[in-house]
């Protein structure tokens, strides 16, 4: 999103919510790629009923607005499990009742067995996660969904970091989200992106928040795509 465009209000509301909830923090944080990032997004801190309910509402609004059609939701272990359940509840509240499933990290050798839990994985399956760091989780989810005889149809995430992916310490010319959309041919629906975060930082009333805008912009200038 260019700075010339009007703000995406849903994205702005989400970023404000993430900052207020302490889920989106500013400082100096080391990423999986070994970079020092001026911000950190930890969806595990949407850790009570009120916050999780609001998060699910953001996902649901963005998905409904996107027009992406899907028959069920799949949440990869571990964060995706809670997200899939919460989104399923919120969609049902809005009149879109969708089944959901998730995977275990280790196969169960008793009872019903296997690695998949929940509704039968079938039809068009939407994968839900918090972010896409390298695309590994998405590839694994696609493999499980395909093996079950269903069709992975898209991915939804909370935040698109909009930065270069890295492999073995080497920066790649595309982001993890671009890899998923271009190489895996999967549409990705994100509630917000780094551009939305920058817009929020520049327009916030709180000077302690706007103080981080320069560092985030510098990070985007260096690693952004």
d(CA 205, CA 154): 36
CB 100 within 8 A of CB 119: yes
CB 66 within 8 A of CB 195: no
**Is 98 marked as a binding-site residue?**
no
Long-range CB contacts (< 8 A, 24+ apart) of 13-19?
A: 13/58, 14/58, 14/158, 14/191, 14/192, 14/196, 15/192, 15/196, 15/197, 15/200, 16/200, 16/204, 17/54, 17/55, 17/58, 18/158, 18/159, 19/200, 19/209
**Is 78 marked as a binding-site residue?**
yes
**Is 129 marked as a binding-site residue?**
yes
**Is 32 marked as a binding-site residue?**
yes
108 is catalytic: yes
Q: Which residue has the tokens 């068009």?
A: 124
User: Which is catalytic among the residues 96, 108, 120, 222?
Assistant: 108
d(CA 192, CA 43): 13
96 is catalytic: no
User: Quick one: tokens of 131?
Assistant: 């972010």
**Is 104 marked as a binding-site residue?**
yes
**Is 79 marked as a binding-site residue?**
yes
User: Which is catalytic among the residues 51, 61, 98, 110?
Assistant: 110
**Is 142 marked as a binding-site residue?**
no
**Is 110 marked as a binding-site residue?**
yes
**Is 155 marked as a binding-site residue?**
no
**Is 26 marked as a binding-site residue?**
no
Helix (H) or strand (E) holding 39: strand 36-41
**Is 131 marked as a binding-site residue?**
yes
**Active site (catalytic) residues:** 108, 110
User: Which residue ranges are tagged as binding site?
Assistant: 32, 40-41, 78-79, 104-105, 108, 110, 129-137, 161
Annotated binding site for orotate: 40-41, 133, 161
Query: Which residues line the annotated binding site for 5-phospho-alpha-D-ribose 1-diphosphate?
Result: 32, 78-79, 104-105, 108, 110, 129-137
């Amino acid at each position: 999103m260019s700075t010339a465009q009007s703000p995406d209000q849903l994205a702005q509301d989400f970023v404000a919510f993430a900052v207020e909830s302490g889920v989106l923090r500013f400082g100096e944080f080391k990423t999986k790629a070994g970079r020092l990032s001026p911000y950190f997004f930890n969806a595990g801190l949407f850790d009570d009923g009120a916050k999780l309910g609001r998060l699910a509402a953001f996902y649901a609004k963005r998905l409904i607005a996107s027009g992406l059609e899907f028959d069920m939701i799949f949440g990869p272990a571990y964060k995706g499990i809670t997200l899939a359940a919460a989104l399923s509840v919120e969609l049902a509240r809005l009149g879109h009742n969708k089944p959901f499933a998730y995977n275990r990290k280790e196969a169960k050798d008793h009872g019903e067995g296997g690695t998949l839990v929940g509704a039968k994985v079938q039809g068009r399956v939407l994968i839900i996660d918090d972010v896409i760091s390298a695309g590994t989780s998405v590839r694994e989810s696609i493999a499980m969904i395909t093996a079950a005889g269903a069709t992975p149809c898209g991915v939804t995430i909370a935040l698109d970091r909009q930065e270069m992916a890295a492999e073995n310490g080497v920066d790649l010319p595309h982001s993890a989200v671009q890899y998923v959309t271009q190489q895996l041919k999967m549409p990705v629906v994100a509630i917000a992106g780094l551009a939305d975060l920058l817009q929020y930082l520049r327009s916030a009333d709180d000077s302690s928040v706007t103080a981080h805008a320069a560092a985030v912009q510098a990070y985007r200038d260096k690693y952004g795509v």
